[in-house]
Amino acid sequence: MKIELLEAIEQSAEYLNRISKWHTTGKPFGHIYNNPATDYLYEFYCYLTFIQELSEENIIKINVSGGMKNNFPRNPAPKRNGWAKFEAFNDEGEYICDICAGIIINHSQINNFSFGADISVQSPVIEPDEDDVFLIIEAKFKSEGDSIQKNELELLASRKEIFNIPGITNILNLHGSSFEKNSIVTNAQVSNHHAAFTRYKNIRQVGYFYPNSPRIEILD
């Protein structure tokens, strides 16, 4: 799976190079070639796939002008460090939001309380808190035959509620995306056993999500 993920990431880089007018040479995502763990590669694959889906209905550009240049965080990190990110613009060219990987989200009303979202859609601010985040996606790489677990669904639902993350946004067109609401995504199976909990909490499970998957399962 590791080789397939790297190949898919390189193909995404070629596509995003065209649609975002981002012209680079060599390895555009250099941070992924230093022997990263497979679970991180999977998170990054999901991130870039989400960006590609968004680009079908939105104007997306990459920003590598920050202090970290074209590097994305491999562990949860503060946005103020200047990590690479993708930005969305409306038809009038107005900068409307960021699509980030691995950025820490704080809670303004609870001291020392935060979490690092694998993928998030958020306002273009330096220090995002619960008022700035519209949607989160958690990516879970699993062994063959495994499935999304109850505690993982509970954690996503808890973050959604504590941080008041709506899972939808009227400034970004999510139509056609696999992630039209707060989601947990995996290369393995969804948990049909917890379908009622998924519906009650208004979250989404996405299963069999990997390069060249013959079928992707979506459970709302």
Number of domains in the chain: 1
Element (H, E) at 124: none
The DSSP call for residue 33 is G
Over the stretch 7-57, which tens digit does the pLDDT of each residue have?
A: 999 888 888 777 665 555 555 576 676 778 999 999 999 999 999 999 999
Q: How far apart are CA 220 and CA 217, in angstroms?
A: 10
CB atoms within 10 A of CB 84: 21
For the entire predicted model, the pTM comes to 0.94
Over the stretch 144-198, which tens digit does the pLDDT of each residue have?
A: 999 999 999 999 999 999 999 999 878 899 988 999 999 999 999 999 999 999 9
Q: What pLDDT is attached to residue 34?
A: 72
With H, G, I as helix, E, B as strand and everything else as coil, classify residue 122: strand
Q: What pLDDT is attached to residue 30?
A: 61
Q: How far apart are CA 45 and CA 97, in angstroms?
A: 21
Q: What pLDDT is attached to residue 22?
A: 54
Over the stretch 88-145, which tens digit does the pLDDT of each residue have?
A: 999 999 999 999 999 999 999 999 999 999 999 999 999 999 999 999 999 999 999 9
Q: What pLDDT is attached to residue 28?
A: 58
Opening angle at CA 50, ends 47 and 56, nearest 5: 145
Instruction: Give the whole-number percent of the chain exceeding pLDDT 90.
Output: 77
Query: Nearest 10 degrees: CA dihedral of 201, 113, 137, 146?
Result: -80
Q: What is the CATH number of the domain that holds 70?
A: 3.40.1350.10
Range of the domain at 182: 2-219
Q: What pLDDT is attached to residue 14?
A: 80
Over the stretch 58-68, which tens digit does the pLDDT of each residue have?
A: 999 989 889 99
Q: What pLDDT is attached to residue 17?
A: 72
Q: Which residues pair with 218 in a beta bridge?
A: 206
